C-alpha cells in the first residue's frame, strides 16, 4: 500500500470517528457514571431516578446535579434526532418530567 492510500484511509477513519463522537460521549461520559442502557429502559421513573443517582454521586460534574442529569438526557434526545422512534421519545420526555419532580422543579 502506498503512502497516499494510507493517508486517505487514515483520513477516512478519522472522519468516521469524528462523525460519531456524540455516541462516545453517551457511553463514556466523564461527568456522570451512567448505568448501562439507561436510555433504553421503558420506565421513565426508573430512568429519572438512575440519572439523579448518577448526578448526585458524581464528583466530576461541574454543574449542579439537576442540571447535569437533565443535560445528559437532553444530549441523548438531541443526538438521536429524527432517528429516535416516537415511542422512545415519549418515554424520554416523560423521564424529563419525572426528573423535574424528583428535584421538585415541576
For the chain, percent of residues with pLDDT exceeding 90 = 48
Cα dihedral 46/39/106/30 (nearest 10)? 110
pTM more than 0.75: no
Using the predicted structure, report yes or no on whether residue 15 has a pLDDT greater than 80. Answer: no
Over range 21-35, report the average pLDDT. 68
Write the CB contacts of 41 (distance below 8 Å, at least 6 apart in sequence). 47, 50, 91
Cell numbers at residue 105, please? 422543579
User: What pLDDT is recorded for position 82?
Assistant: 81
Which sequence spans correspond to the domains of the chain?
30-102
Using the predicted structure, report yes or no on whether residue 99 has a pLDDT greater than 90. Answer: yes
Over range 52-62, report the average pLDDT. 89
From 1, 102, 106, 104, select the one nearest 51 (Cα to Cα). Answer: 102
| Interatomic CA distance for residues 96 and 102, integer angstroms | 10
φ/ψ (deg, to 5) at 16? -65, -40
| Interatomic CA distance for residues 45 and 95, integer angstroms | 6
Amino acid at each position: 500500500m502506498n503512502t497516499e492510500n494510507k493517508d486517505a484511509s487514515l483520513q477516512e477513519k478519522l472522519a468516521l470517528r469524528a462523525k460519531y463522537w456524540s455516541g462516545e460521549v453517551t457511553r463514556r461520559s466523564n461527568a456522570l457514571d451512567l448505568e448501562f442502557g439507561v436510555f433504553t429502559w421503558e420506565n421513565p421513573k426508573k430512568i429519572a431516578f438512575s440519572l439523579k443517582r448518577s448526578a448526585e454521586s458524581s464528583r466530576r460534574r461541574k454543574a449542579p446535579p439537576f442540571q447535569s442529569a437533565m443535560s445528559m438526557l437532553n444530549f441523548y434526545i438531541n443526538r438521536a434526532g429524527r432517528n429516535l422512534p416516537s415511542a422512545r421519545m415519549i418515554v424520554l420526555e416523560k423521564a424529563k418530567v419525572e426528573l423535574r419532580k424528583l428535584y421538585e422543579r415541576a
